[in-house]
Every structure is written in structure tokens, then in C-alpha cells.
Structure 1
Amino acid sequence: MSDNHVEQTGFFSLFTTLPNLSRQESHTSAAAPPTQTTLDVKSDQSDDEKEQPDERGRYVDEGDGVEYLNGEPIISTGSDVSRFVVDVRDDGDDPMTIRSLFLGTIWAGLAAALYQIYVFKPVQMHVSSVFLLLIVYTSGQLWATLLPRQSWVEGTRWERYGWIIQLINPGKFTIKEHVVSTLIASTAAYGSASVSNFAVQRLYYDTNVGPLTAVFATFSTAMFGYGLCGILRPLTVYPSEMVYWGNLPTVSIFQSLHFDTSTNSRRLKLFWIVFGAIFAYEVVPAYMFPLLGGFSVFCLASQGASTRTRNDFTNIFGGAQANEGLGILSLCFDWQYIGSAFLSRPIQQQANTWVGYAFCYVAILGIYYSNTWASKSFPMLSTSIFSSNGSIYQQSAVFDQHFNLNETALDEVGLPSLTGSNAWNNLVANLAIGGLIAHVVLFWRQPAIDAIRQARAGDQPDPHFQAMKRYKEAPTWWYLILMGLAFLAGLVVCIKGETTLPWWSFIVALLLGSFITPFSTILYARMGTGISTNQLFKMVAGAANPGRPVGNLYFSMWSHDVVSQSIGLAGDLKMGQYLKVPPRVMFITQIWGALLGAVINYVVMVSIVTAQREILLSPTGSNVWSGQVVQSLNSQAVTWSMAKQVYGLSGAYYMIPFALVIGIFPTTIQYFLCKRWKTIGGVKTDSILLPIIFMYSGYLYAGVNSTTTTIIATGVTSQLWLRRYHPVWYRKYNYILGGAMDGGAQVMIFLLSFAVFGASGKERPFPKWAGNPARGRVDYCNGNGALG
């Protein structure tokens, strides 16, 4: 059997399910090249060696320990994914070509710009990796088909230049070229916390960070996280259980496009038809008819109600605009705010988020209407900070020109206050962090120990890891040098830049981020989602650097980016392992993509902040622009710089830091319950992910919230109906459909942002009509009278 061409049965089944979700699709093997031998994993035992199926068609193969339903393996573990979902085939093609680098660089520009635009949108969306891989694939195919080839000049006077033509167009656009180009673009779309910090300084501290500081800071934050990611590979990348479930649709489409070309024309035809349709349609809800962004029957029916009723309805059912309301039962028809993530996330994972949403509705409404934390003195939803009288807090009055706290001025101005929803979000974020650490230590301790042992012994059993042994590994000292350079760049920024962060605190930030990274990455790798740990970094920053909000920003920037960059880049390394991209090529690819992204993020940020300064500073924003991300960063930096006064035992929010420890206990109780009862009421006790439930219990504290009902319906339609009753269509087209819809919507938003939304200066609003009312909320939740 050839090492380069090993195919496992059923790799076309595109599974992102978590434990005990059965594959209903039939196995369909890729068309193998003539020299390829097909390995049928299920044929190792004869029929009489297998346990006979029960009345439901379920049996366990005693030979390999895999449970089957109607002849199909139930995907329960990462090992099942490696064996049955992802093909181990490796054609040995060259990944690093002029074509792959050029296409990756070009599309990285679009991806990074889209990411940065969405930082200033009411809903933060990620650039679809499926869209990027399909746009890169189309570009690569056109390149291979239309550009001259070496064979065209053979036997002519131009033959001596054939090698140049071969470099430019090496022929068929291969899977590894495709992967490299896509990863450059997707890495650029990760974003950098440093760029958001620079936006905060421009908006709230009238400080325009110098180019040298910006370059050194972005390099430091991106590269230190990547270096740490490389060090942690044996724990977070190599083992089979480190799946990164969100990558499976992308991996499967890569292999489908290149290993089974018979249906490519239909896939691409669907992609471009849907892309064009959504591209054209997105103009309607985003620009011409914004009522479609949050259609609420309750708000439309309340036009003649009393002012109090209309206000209550706005809080409960409104959600088409930033910080308007909780959007309960609102319907959203604007795909830019829905996204394709719910077409691929396992239904079990989505169910945990639904529980979180339910708690969030109850908690935020309960906090506001009970006036907890004096909530009624402020908007129900906002990430801004306020004075006790409800006005925007004048933070410039309590900090001197060097951004240090003036205690005398603070006594005169008073302490800042948070909205009840913002305080609740901070509290549950700490609960989630405590739960995360407890969950990893209690539930996944032994697999982590095994992974470290296997790495030391060199006997990691994952078949994809074993297949990668034919390539030279990127040595650990490469990553150590990268971390060293990043450390030196950050040290220069601390000493020479306007950060107010002492050098020793910079080191503490890196150490703290390095400590949290394995916990966050393991959760993300095993469950396909993560939790925000930025709250912890703000807390430590406030304790280490009291009275220094800008220093707090930079402390959390370094510690947070260590975590976020490590997670994103570890997922890419896993994709490289699945698709057999040489580790040294991955090293270069990810560094280049991260640097490209940082530069483009910075340029787009400056343009938007300059043009939309006033609305970004507004506590509510609009249905087009919102400063909620930078407002939240600044609010936390300011309040945690006054940690003793605001979060101490005598402060209003003393429970928030305590929640970090409290969050450990529910997960600990769950662990012991799991030891005693595997299922309760038909629910597997270890399928409950408390850190995720905690996080989503505060998820609706700001932004556009009219999407919740629609995204739940999207997930149910895809993962319960389409997947179960139309498995063949689901397998072939589900992820391509999502990528096309994301791509069409996001490209149109990119164009609208600069053409009519004022990202580059002049704004050109659409004429007012019933679907775009001249006053009040676009969803009529405040009873603006336009329908009367």
C-alpha cells in the first residue's frame, strides 16, 4: 500500500457532531487514482466477529471498539474523526508556489479588511473560511486554465523561457497550493487586539499611536502567541482528540474539490449562483430595508400602546439596532448578522448555547426591572460607563495627561457605573473562566497527560500525525526564536511607547496569557467553541497597575492575544496535519498571513475611526456602526484601573471578581455527578458544558440581538432536518451553501461600508420610507408613529 495514497472509507461524510450523534449519510469513497489502494476500515473483521445488531440496527464492533448504527459508525471521539471523517491521502504536491503565495496575499487583503469592518459593526462576524477557500479555488482554477503554460512554448524560440512560465503557472491547481493560499487569507482575518487598543486610544485618550509603536506592538502580540502555539503542538495539535470541529467543513470541502472532481461543476455552480443572489439581496436589508434586520410582530402591534408599554416592548422584543433590546422572538432576514456558523456547529454544542440564551433573557430582564446595580438609571444594554446620574462618565476628568488616576479628582467626579447587563456579562465571564479551568483539569486531565507522554515517546497513534512523519518538522527552536523576537519587540514598546505599562508587568502579562492558553485551546479543540478570558486579564492588570487604564489595555492586549492567536493558529496547524501540508511551510504561511492582517487591520481601523468617531463614541450606536467593542475595552480598562474602589468589598460590583472562584464549584459538582450517573433524564451528564452555558448567559448584553430566533432555526434546520432527512445533499452542499451566503453578504457589506456607510468619510443614507423610518427605531419598537 502506498504511503502517499491511503484512503479511508467514508471520508466524504462531513461530520461535526459531538458524542453520540450518528452519521446518517452513506459512505461514499473518493475516486482513487489508479495506483491508490482503498482501505476499508470496517472490513478488518469478518461478520461473525462483530456483535449482531439490535432491533435498531446498533452494534459494537469488538475488533475496533467502534459503535455502528445501520452499518454507519457513530462519531463519538476524535479518533473516530481521524479514521472515518478525514482522508489520510497525500499526493505529495508542492504547496509553496508563486501562485499560492500571490493568491493568498491578494485575498488576505479582503479578509483582513472585512474582519476590521465587523469590529465596528453592531454584530461581530468572522470572515467565512469556506467562502475564502472557494474564492481562492476559483481564482486558482482560472490561473491554471488561462495563463500560459510551459507546454505552449515547447519547440518554439521561446522555449528557453519555459522555466519562467512554469514558475508562474505550474499547471493544475493542487490541494496544497489551495490550502496555503486559503490559510494566508484566513490567518490575516484573525485580527489583532493591538489594533483595537489603538482605536481605544484614538477615541478616548486622543492619542495617535506612532507607526513604530504600532508595527512593534502588532508583531509582538501576533508572533508571541504563534510561538507558544508551536511549543504546545504535542498537547493541542497532534492528538486525535484535538479535532477543532469548526475546521471539519473546510477540510472536507478541500478534499472533496480535489479528490472527487466529478461533482465540482455542480458545487461551483451552486456556490456562484447563491453568492450572486445573496450579494444582490444584501443591499436590501443592509441599506434599503433595514426593518428586515429585526422584524418584531410585538413591536409592530404596540404602536398605539402607552409609552411605558412601548418602552417595555422595546427592551424585551427590540433588537434591530445596537443595544436596543433582547430581541425575543424577533426575526432577522439580514444574513450578515446570521452567518453560516450554525450550519456546521454540532447540535449538542448549539443546545448548550440555547440554555445560555434562556438564562440571559431571564437574568438581564430581572436585573434591570429589579433595579439591581441601579440599572434603571442607565440604558438596559450598553458597554459604555456612566456617572451615577445616568450621563456618560467623563473619564478625562479623573486621569492626568499621562493617563494616571487622580485620586482627588475621582473623589469630586465619583466612581464610574456599569449598566446592569454589562456588569452581569462581566460576572458570568468570570464564572466561565473558573468553569473552564475546572472542566479541563477534571474532565480532560488524563488525555492531556497521555498526549504529553506520547509526545515524549514519539508514539502518538493518530494516523494523520503518523502520515506527516515523511516531512521535516519545524523545530522547536524556530518557535522559541520567534517568541524571543516578539518579547524584545514588546519590551521596546513598553519602554519607548505611550503604554504606561512597566516592563515587569509586560512580563507578567505574557506569563498569564501563556498559563491560560492550554486551557482555552483544549476546550476549543475538543468542543469547537471557546470562551472569552479577557476579563481575567483585566482583573490582574487592575491589581498589578492600579490607576493606569492605558496600561491595563496593553496588559490585557498581550495576555489576550497570546490566547487568541494560539487558538487560531493551532486550528490551522491541525488543518495542515489533516491535509498534509509540511510543517515548515505552515510556519512561513502563518507568519506571513498574520503580518499582512495586522497592517491591513491598522489601515482600515484608522479610516473608520476617523470617519465615524462620533457614532463610535455613542453609547447606543446605530444599525450600521457600533463602538461596542472599543467601548467595552475602555470601560473595563477604566473600571479595573479603579479595582479597589469599584470591585473591592465596599464597591458595587464586588461579586464580579469572586465569580472567578465561584465558577469552579458547579463544574466540580457536575464532575462527581458524572461519576455517579452517566445520564439524568435521558441527557448525558458529561455533555453539559457549563463554561459555555455561563458565557452565553451574558451574551446578549450589547449589540444587535434580533438574530437569536433565526440562528436557532438555522441550526435546527441544518443539523436536525437537512442532515437527517437529506443526508446526501447535506454532505455535498451544506457547507458550500453557507460559504456562498457568507461571502456574498460580506463582500457587499465591504462595498457598502465605503460607498454609502461612510467608512471612508461621506455617508449617503437611503431615502426614508416605511421600511427605513425617518425617526425612531428601524423596527418600530419605540412606537415612532410612522405606521399610524
Structure 2
Amino acid sequence: MADHTSDVLATIPYQNASNEKEAFDYMGSEKKSLDDVEEIDSNNEDIDKDNDPAYNVFPQIVRELVDFEDDPNMTVITWRFFFLSGTLTALGAWLTQMGFFRTTYVPYSIYFVQIASLYFGRMLASSLPQKRIGFGKFSFDLNPGPFSVKEHVTIVLAANTGATNNLGDYVLAPLQIFYDKPMNGWLAILFMLSCVFVGFSFASFARAFLVENPITPFPLALQQVAVFNAMRKSMEEDAAVAQKQMRVFWWSILAFFLWEFLPEYAFPFLSSLAFLCWFSSNPKAQFLGSGLGGAGFLTLTLDWSNIGSQCIYYPYWTQVNIFAACAISAWILVPAAFFTNAWDSALYPIQTQTLYLKNGSDYPTSALLTADNHLNETLFEQVGPPMMSAQLRWNYFFAYVAYMGSFVSCALFQGPMLLKTFKSYRQVKTTDKLTEIIRRYPPVPLWWNLVLFIIPVIILIILTAKGVLYMPIYMLFIGLAIGAIIVLPMAYIYSVSGYQMAVGYFNELFYGYAINAGGSRHPVGSLSYRVISGQCWYEAQSMLADMKLGHYFHVPPRKVLLAQVWGICVGVPVNYATILWVCKTKGDILTGAVTDPNRQWTGQTVISLNNQSISFALVGPKRLFADAIYTPMLYGFLVGALAPMILYLLHRRWPRARFDLWSVPVFSDSFENYWGNISVSFFTLFILGSINHLWVKRYHFVFWKKYAYLWGAAADTGYNFSLLIIFIAFSAVKTIPMAPWWGNNPESVERCFHVPTQGVASS
């Protein structure tokens, strides 16, 4: 959630940095609200339209960044669009979907898509001859002219939509890995497509309220506008600077591409530099120091998959929240439970996602599921509810804190801004300039949106009725209804604050109570519900942001629709193929039968989802919370409601203390991280983030502004390409493991040979 809660407006350079130390607030300056933006003086003398009601309805930052002139003759959809967007979307869908099964991974950088598509688009436009290919209606221009900004934006829109993982993996992966009942391939693709298109239709119906609303800036879209402008203007107006930037970009890609072969394949010792293990063989010291199965105390990593470019683009206040939560969880609570056997950690190991009986043996999940997908009541009376590790229990607690804290924090800290925005919108009596421009183009017909909604819903109804999704059909309609209801208010909050609410754990809990009305209690049913109720509205928010990006660049609405549908159609089959490949080639690792020495291919997300579904669907929260050890989990909702109130009162009393920067949702969401496999990331991330924000950005702002985001995108890209080549060379046809040597010890790649797996209080 930290990624969702980042105030991305803070990353846009509104004005030149000051070198006056006394004027610099190391944390507070990172969190600019829209009110802060309103106070910034415009540096663009060409846009001085404050007295024109068609312009002054926009926030000032929009008036500064967005071009209000439109060329309707610009090329938009060309063969270059299909070629570049298809290639970049497929690559991103594969890499991101594969990351779902890894413990850590670097997200596919949309800024790489922006940079690469501009570079190759301009190259194609300048090198290909003017020639028409094909016959009649099936012909096209080999060189349709200059690579326009609208064509560039449309390529990014397709990648924004399709170069992601699909939440259908919540259902498909557990079915194949844990239940050996893989879904038919065509049905799986239809399921994944349907959930995305339902979300897309939700977004289309909300377009008039959010996309054509001049008061809703969509901060993430604005950040992309800033990057688009900087890239294109630098290339067009200052070739020397652009060439230097591109040299840095490509050399950085090459450097990270070559480097990542070491920690990811040849020299995995570099992925976890556990200093405590080097100086002591004591089991307690080894557990504290080990980053692969221990607490990772002061452990560093040189594997970019454990870090990622968030050390650059996360605001510093976010990074402080994340580090504080992770350090308390991994460095204090985990060792405390492990060394003292607190919270029954002797019976249920502190760092495990396995479910147990009360005597410490594995929970008999398969025996509890009857042939008609109900709970075996007789056996349940004998074995009782599943027992979880202490870490999993506090993960649930803080997940509930984060969920409730999201709403309360937004209401208290952003409520006045939201109310001001809503009142301003109601007072608008004229069509704003951007909407005036976009309405010159044919709108998307209503029946197109109805088709995108009705056909996928029919498919979902059939899949549910046939038992493919393992849930009762009434839960399908409840999921769709809840998704439709929350899209507009939550997307509205997202559109003005950049804050995206997380609903996954709450959906799991809600399903567990609602399923008591009758129907299959198969664990996968709750995961299907989470996909339908979650994918739909998450997708709607993302697509609304993409529509706003197209709106800012005057891309015709029908072309925006085509780009998004094209991105979905390219991305989903790649998502499915990736899920299939990982489940078949990494199945033993994902089930725990084989241990990945580098602790990367652990599938901990899949394991966690399966255990959640067993606890809340098969057993159910009513039976689960009847046990006294689980009762405190529900108090997370109360804490989530009270903690933001306390911080808000403290902030009102002592505003200079910046209590508003202690984010309950960010802190709690980070606290719920599971550290059983890798705990090396957050310390290195915090060190790099501190260097980035407190030194480079503070004292070398011009250099930072020119190269920071470019370098981060290059690092992520180099890592992603390295992972791709490693896959092709060593896994695609035949698995070729790295030969054991000092830096790749099969017993412990980080050379922590004495890490205990159970509590060591008695040793």
C-alpha cells in the first residue's frame, strides 16, 4: 500500500530547489497537498488565464503542466502503436506476473515504456521509407509521419492497462498448486478478461464524474504528464542534454543487466550480506543476522530485486513510515517471540505461513473439505480451528488497522480538501477548456460500454453456475454490486489525493461471514470473490487515471478505449501463460517440497492466499474468532479508527511537529509484511532512500532532477531484462542450476549455517 499512498505530486519539480538549509523540511517538504500546489507561482508565462472561467477551474499545477492547444490532425493509432505497445505490454505482463510468485521483484517501470517507446518511435519515424504496405482496406503506411505525442501517450496507455499481473492468479495458481485441479485454459482466460472488462465498464460509467471533472487532477497521471513534457521537450529543444541523458540511461541498463546475473544466478551470496553470521556461529546471532529465514538485523542486499527504484520516487516520509514498521516487526517482535517462545512460538514457528493443529502438527486441510465442498463438521469438532504463527496473527491485526485507518485518515487529514474540491465542482457553471477540446471528437457510444459490461457478467454468471469458481452465485452479484458502489467514492479520493484504498483482507472477512447464507465453502470460492470484488474496482481506478492521462493530451476517447482494450487483450494471455509456466516448473518449490536456496521462488503470496481462504471460507470467521487467541485480531478495526484521531489531534495541537506525516495506513500496511523468507530489503532501501532525499536531492537538485527518475527506470529495466535472459538461457527449455561454489553454497547461500528453525529460548 505504500506504493498507493505515495503523494506523487511531491515528486514533480514545481520550482527550483532552494539551497537554504533552514528552509528545508526533510520530511514535510516531501508531502505536498493540493493546497500547497495552489500556492506555487506559475513559471509558465504563456498560461495566464486566471480570469478565464474555462481555465481557472483547474488546479494551478494542471494549468502549468498541461498544454491547452490541440492538433486534431496528429497521428494516434498506427502500426507503430500496435508493434511498440504490443511488445512492451507483453514484456511487462510477463515480468509482472512472474513477480507474483517471487518473494521480491522489481515492478515493470512505466517510465521505461515512456522512454523506450519515444526512442524507438522516433527511430522508426526517421529511418523507414514512405511506402504503403498491403492491399485496399488492409493497407497501411510504413512511415505514417512524425512520432506524435498522442501516439506516444496511446502506447503508454496500452502498457498501463496490460503490462500488469492479473488478479486471476489468486484463483488459478492455488487451484493448480494446492488442489491439483487446474482450470481449463480457455475458461481461465475468459475469467481473467471478464473481471478486467467489468472494471473497465465501471470506469467508463464514472468517466463523466471524474475524467471530465476539472477539479480531479489524478496525481499519478500528472506525474506522467511531467515526464512526457520533460522527455519530449529535451529531445526537441536541447539535443546535447537529451543525448547525455540517453547515454546515462542505456549505460545504466547495461550495467544493471550484467550485474544482476551475479545475485540472481551466479553469486547469490550478494543477495544477503548477513554480517552477524560472519562473526558468530551462535544460533541466536545467526537468526538475528540471517536475511533468508531470520530477522535480517543490519543485513544488506546487493540484489536490485530486493530494493527497486522506490528508493527514488517514494517520498521520504513514506520511507520513514515503512522502515519504522518493518524494523519493529522484523527486528524486535520476531526475535522476541522466537527467543522467548512467546505467543506459542515453540509450537507454531514464528516465521511460517503453515496452519497447525493445537499440538503443532500440520492442519488436515484436505480431510476437512468434503466431496461437496463443505466443512467436515465431525472432524472439525475434533481438530478445532487452525493455529497460526504469531507473525501471521499480527499481520491480520495490522491489515485491519490499515483498512479502517485508510478511511479515517482520509476523512480527517484530507476531508477538508475533498469537501473544498466537491464544492468547487458544484459551483462550476461552464465547460472547462480540456472538456471543450475533447468533445470535438466523437464520444464512446453508450452501447459499447454496455457490451463491455453485459458480456463479461454473463460469462461470470455461467462460470459461477457451472461451479468453475467454487462460490455461490449470490456472492457473485454481491461482489459486483459492492464493486460498483465503491468505485465512484474511492476513485474520487484517489483522483484528488493519489491514495488508493486497499480492500483485500476485508473482502476475505466479509466473504467468510456472508457465505453462512449457504453454498460451497471451498477455499478457492473466497479467492474468486476477492478477484471479482477487488479486480473490478482496482481496475476501474487505474483505467480512470489512464483516461485522465488521455484527456490531458487530447487523445480522442475512442482511441483511448482502443488502446486500453488492446493492452488488455495482449496482457491477459501472457499473464495466463506465465502462471501456467511457473506452476508447472516451480510447483515443488511453491508447495514447500523443495526449498529455493535464494528464497526468491517461494510463492509466499500464493501460500498466504490459500491459508487465508482456508481460515475464512472453509472454517469461517465465526468459528475462527471463537478461539481466544484470535479475538484480539478484530480489535484492529478499533485501533485503525482511533489511531488517526489521536494523530490528528496531536497535529492540530502541534502542527510543526508534523504528526500528519505518521501515516497509520502506510505504517500498518508495512507492519503486516511477512518476513519468513526474505528480510533484507527494508534496511538497504532506507539507506539508499536517505542518501537520495537527504543528500542528492537536497544538495544536488539540478543533477537529481535530470537523472534520478531516468536512472531508477534504467535500473529496473536492466534488472527485468537480466531476469528475462536468465529465464531463457537457464530455465525455458532445460533447467540449468548454477554449480555449487563458495558464493553459492547449497546449504546457505548467505553462509548462515546455524540458523535455528524453532525457538531457542532453552539453548
TM-score normalized by structure 1? 0.82
Q: 2:555 aligned to 572, 577, 581, which one?
A: 581
* Deviation at residue 284 of structure 1 after TM alignment: 0.9
Report what 1:285 is aligned to: 263
Taking the aligned partners of 1:336 and 1:25, their CA distance within structure 2 comes to 31
Taking the aligned partners of 1:725 and 1:406, their CA distance within structure 2 comes to 65
Name the Cα RMSD after superposition: 3.6
* Deviation at residue 535 of structure 1 after TM alignment: 0.4
CA contact (8 A) 1:24 1:724 kept: no
The range that moved more, 710-719 or 548-557, is 710-719
* Deviation at residue 90 of structure 1 after TM alignment: 4.4
Paired residue type of 1:433? Y
Pairing 1:386–2:360 present: no
* Deviation at residue 594 of structure 1 after TM alignment: 2.0
Query: Equivalent residues in 2 for 1:14-413 (5 A)?
Result: 16=8, 18=10, 23-25=15-17, 66=39, 79-85=59-65, 88=68, 90-92=70-72, 93-150=74-131, 167-233=141-207, 237=211, 242-261=216-235, 262=238, 263-303=241-281, 305=282, 307=283, 309-310=284-285, 313-314=286-287, 316-319=288-291, 321=292, 324-361=293-330, 362-369=332-339, 371-413=341-383
Q: Partner of 1:418: helix, strand, or coil?
A: coil
In structure 1, list runs of 5 or more residues that go unmatched. 1-14, 27-52
Pairing 1:638–2:614 present: yes
* Deviation at residue 239 of structure 1 after TM alignment: 5.5
Taking the aligned partners of 1:149 and 1:693, their CA distance within structure 2 comes to 56
Pairing 1:572–2:546 present: yes
Pairing 1:770–2:742 present: yes
Report what 2:482 is aligned to: 512
Report what 1:31 is aligned to: none
- After superposition, the C-alpha distances for 1:403-429 in whole angstroms (9 at most, x for unaligned) are 322112223444322222122111111
Taking the aligned partners of 2:319 and 2:154, their CA distance within structure 1 comes to 30
> Structure 1 residues 65 and 206, CA, compared in 2 at 3 Å: closer, same or farther?
closer
The range that moved more, 120-129 or 625-634, is 120-129
* Deviation at residue 163 of structure 1 after TM alignment: 11
CA contact (8 A) 2:197 2:456 kept: yes
Taking the aligned partners of 2:623 and 2:338, their CA distance within structure 1 comes to 20
Percent identity reads 25
Q: Partner of 1:386: helix, strand, or coil?
A: coil
* Deviation at residue 256 of structure 1 after TM alignment: 2.2
- After superposition, the C-alpha distances for 1:12-64 in whole angstroms (9 at most, x for unaligned) are xxx945499984349xxxxxxxxxxxxxxxxxxxxxxxxxx9x9799xxx9x9
The range that moved more, 238-247 or 717-726, is 238-247
Paired residue type of 1:81? I
Q: Partner of 1:193: helix, strand, or coil?
A: coil
Report what 2:708 is aligned to: 734
* Deviation at residue 738 of structure 1 after TM alignment: 0.9
> Structure 1 residues 90 and 763, CA, compared in 2 at 3 Å: closer, same or farther?
same
Report what 1:665 is aligned to: 642
> Structure 1 residues 67 and 210, CA, compared in 2 at 3 Å: closer, same or farther?
closer
- After superposition, the C-alpha distances for 1:649-674 in whole angstroms (9 at most, x for unaligned) are 33531222342344122223434444
Q: 1:715 aligned to 689, 692, 695, which one?
A: 689
Paired residue type of 2:80? R
Taking the aligned partners of 1:65 and 1:103, their CA distance within structure 2 comes to 37
* Deviation at residue 355 of structure 1 after TM alignment: 3.2
Q: Partner of 2:168: helix, strand, or coil?
A: helix
* Deviation at residue 629 of structure 1 after TM alignment: 1.2
Q: 2:411 aligned to 438, 441, 446, which one?
A: 441
* Deviation at residue 91 of structure 1 after TM alignment: 4.6
Taking the aligned partners of 1:460 and 1:740, their CA distance within structure 2 comes to 44
- After superposition, the C-alpha distances for 1:485-528 in whole angstroms (9 at most, x for unaligned) are 33222111111242221111111112233444456545554554
Paired residue type of 1:95? V
* Deviation at residue 539 of structure 1 after TM alignment: 0.5
Q: Partner of 2:742: helix, strand, or coil?
A: coil
Paired residue type of 1:654? T
- After superposition, the C-alpha distances for 1:63-120 in whole angstroms (9 at most, x for unaligned) are x962569999xxxx99343244555564542222221122111221111110111111
Taking the aligned partners of 2:564 and 2:137, their CA distance within structure 1 comes to 28
Paired residue type of 2:554? K
Q: Partner of 2:92: helix, strand, or coil?
A: helix
CA contact (8 A) 2:299 2:683 kept: yes
> Structure 1 residues 140 and 71, CA, compared in 2 at 3 Å: closer, same or farther?
closer
Q: 1:559 aligned to 508, 513, 533, which one?
A: 533
Taking the aligned partners of 1:660 and 1:450, their CA distance within structure 2 comes to 28
Aligned length: 714
Q: Partner of 1:140: helix, strand, or coil?
A: helix
* Deviation at residue 459 of structure 1 after TM alignment: 5.0
For CA contacts below 8 A with separation 6 or more, give which structure has more relative contact order.
Answer: 2
* Deviation at residue 255 of structure 1 after TM alignment: 1.7
* Deviation at residue 231 of structure 1 after TM alignment: 3.0
* Deviation at residue 238 of structure 1 after TM alignment: 5.2
CA contact (8 A) 2:290 2:297 kept: yes
CA contact (8 A) 2:401 2:638 kept: yes
Paired residue type of 1:282? E
Report what 1:654 is aligned to: 631
Taking the aligned partners of 1:545 and 1:614, their CA distance within structure 2 comes to 32
Q: 1:607 aligned to 563, 578, 581, which one?
A: 581
* Deviation at residue 613 of structure 1 after TM alignment: 0.8
Q: Partner of 2:668: helix, strand, or coil?
A: helix
Taking the aligned partners of 1:522 and 1:691, their CA distance within structure 2 comes to 18
Q: Partner of 1:501: helix, strand, or coil?
A: coil
Paired residue type of 1:696? S
Q: Partner of 2:294: helix, strand, or coil?
A: coil
Paired residue type of 1:388? K
* Deviation at residue 593 of structure 1 after TM alignment: 1.1
Taking the aligned partners of 2:462 and 2:97, their CA distance within structure 1 comes to 26
Paired residue type of 2:636? A
TM-score normalized by structure 2? 0.85
Q: Partner of 2:346: helix, strand, or coil?
A: helix
In structure 2, list runs of 5 or more residues that go unmatched. 1-6, 26-34, 46-56, 757-763
CA contact (8 A) 2:513 2:622 kept: no
CA contact (8 A) 2:195 2:531 kept: yes
CA contact (8 A) 1:83 1:463 kept: no
> Structure 1 residues 163 and 585, CA, compared in 2 at 3 Å: closer, same or farther?
closer
Paired residue type of 2:306? Y
* Deviation at residue 534 of structure 1 after TM alignment: 0.6
Query: Equivalent residues in 2 for 1:423-462 (5 A)?
Result: 423-445=393-415, 447-448=417-418, 459=429
Report what 2:759 is aligned to: none
Paired residue type of 1:780? C
Paired residue type of 1:138? Y
- After superposition, the C-alpha distances for 1:609-653 in whole angstroms (9 at most, x for unaligned) are 011111001187542411111111111100002124553233531
> Structure 1 residues 65 and 79, CA, compared in 2 at 3 Å: closer, same or farther?
closer
Taking the aligned partners of 2:41 and 2:695, their CA distance within structure 1 comes to 21
* Deviation at residue 328 of structure 1 after TM alignment: 2.8
- After superposition, the C-alpha distances for 1:218-246 in whole angstroms (9 at most, x for unaligned) are 12211122222233345555567755545
* Deviation at residue 573 of structure 1 after TM alignment: 2.4
CA contact (8 A) 2:93 2:165 kept: yes
CA contact (8 A) 2:202 2:537 kept: no
